[in-house]
């Protein structure tokens, strides 16, 4: 049905009608840019649509620069903190900061995935005594927030020990986000690890 419509539009004398699918693809591209998708992601989505039409021999024709991606360039930070810097951050952090630092450092979960961790999604986090069981590693299988792919990792005993100290301050909640900000809200993208 789409191919028949495209073929009909291709044969039309009306330039507005001939370019209708190109405009749809451009609106889709703008929608993805507005959502903050990276240039590579937008190009791969766009390429899939264009391949569909090319395979059916009714290619989309864009004017020069019409398909240019206007997403923000990803800034790559070429900095890795040294062990002494990590120790300094850890020693100056509050319980939330220490828990967050060790969960990130030991689990390899992304910041977004850590931010999205919910207590009710972590069965058996608490031991029989109602505290975080830090006597063994805690294994996690989680769908990644960005890609939806499944990731397996674990929280180390050190991270669990700090989580116990942090959750003790919160009264060992049984539901909600694992790590929350100062006002019991979900963590933001940028967190100050030191207490103010």
Count of other CB atoms within 10 angstroms of residue 130: 8
Interatomic CA distance for residues 160 and 126, integer angstroms: 10
Quickly count: other Cβ atoms within 10 Å of residue 179's Cβ.
22
75-121 pLDDT, tens digit each: 676 777 888 998 898 899 999 999 999 998 888 888 888 888 999 98
Tokens of 143: 């769908």
Q: What is the 3-state secondary structure (H, E, C) of 104-141?
A: HHHHCCCHHHHHHCEHHHCCCCECCCCCECCCCCEEEE
Q: Please, how many CA atoms are within 13 Å of residue 126, restricted to the half-sphere of its CB?
A: 16
Q: Would you say the C-alpha torsion 86, 80, 184, 128 has a positive or negative sign?
A: negative
Q: Scanning the structure block, which residue is given the tokens 């006002």?
A: 183
Please name the helix (run of DSSP H) or strand (run of DSSP E) that holds residue 155, with its range, or none. Answer: strand 150-155
Which residue has 């319980």 as its token pair? 95
pLDDT score of 32 more than 60: yes
Which residues, in sequence order, are bridge partners of residue 151? 142
Q: Is the pLDDT of residue 194 over 50?
A: no
3-state secondary structure at position 142: strand
Average pLDDT over residues 144-152: 83
pLDDT in tens, 7-25: 777 677 777 777 777 778 8
Q: Region 145-170: what's the mean pLDDT?
A: 90
Structure tokens at 20: 């209708």
Least confident of 78-82, 142-146, 188-192: 188-192
DSSP alpha helix (H) spans, the chain: 2-11, 15-18, 20-34, 39-55, 83-92, 95-107, 111-116, 157-169
For residue 143, the surrounding DSSP H or E stretch is strand 138-143
- Give percent of the chain with pLDDT exceeding 90: 30
Q: Which residue has the tokens 């990276």?
A: 38
The mean pLDDT value for 135-145 works out to 88
Give residue 137's pLDDT band: very low, low, confident or very high (50, 70, 90). very high
Query: Residue 64 above 80 pLDDT?
Result: no
């Amino acid at each position: 049905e789409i191919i028949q419509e495209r073929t009909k539009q291709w044969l039309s004398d009306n330039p507005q009608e001939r370019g209708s699918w190109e405009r749809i693809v451009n609106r889709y591209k703008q929608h993805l840019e507005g959502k903050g998708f990276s240039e590579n992601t937008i190009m791969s989505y766009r390429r899939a649509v264009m391949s569909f039409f090319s395979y059916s021999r009714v290619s989309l024709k864009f004017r020069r620069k019409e398909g240019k991606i206007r997403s923000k360039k990803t800034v790559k930070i070429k900095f890795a903190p040294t062990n002494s810097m990590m120790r300094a951050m850890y020693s100056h952090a509050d319980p939330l900061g220490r828990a967050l630092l060790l969960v990130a450092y030991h689990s390899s979960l992304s910041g977004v995935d850590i931010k999205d961790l919910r207590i009710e999604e972590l069965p058996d986090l608490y031991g029989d005594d109602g505290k975080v069981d830090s006597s063994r590693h805690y294994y996690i299988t989680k769908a990644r927030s960005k890609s939806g792919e499944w990731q397996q990792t674990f929280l180390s005993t050190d991270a669990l020990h700090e989580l116990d100290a942090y959750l003790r301050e919160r009264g060992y909640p049984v539901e909600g986000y694992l790590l929350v900000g100062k006002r019991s809200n979900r963590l933001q993208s940028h967190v100050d690890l030191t207490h103010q």
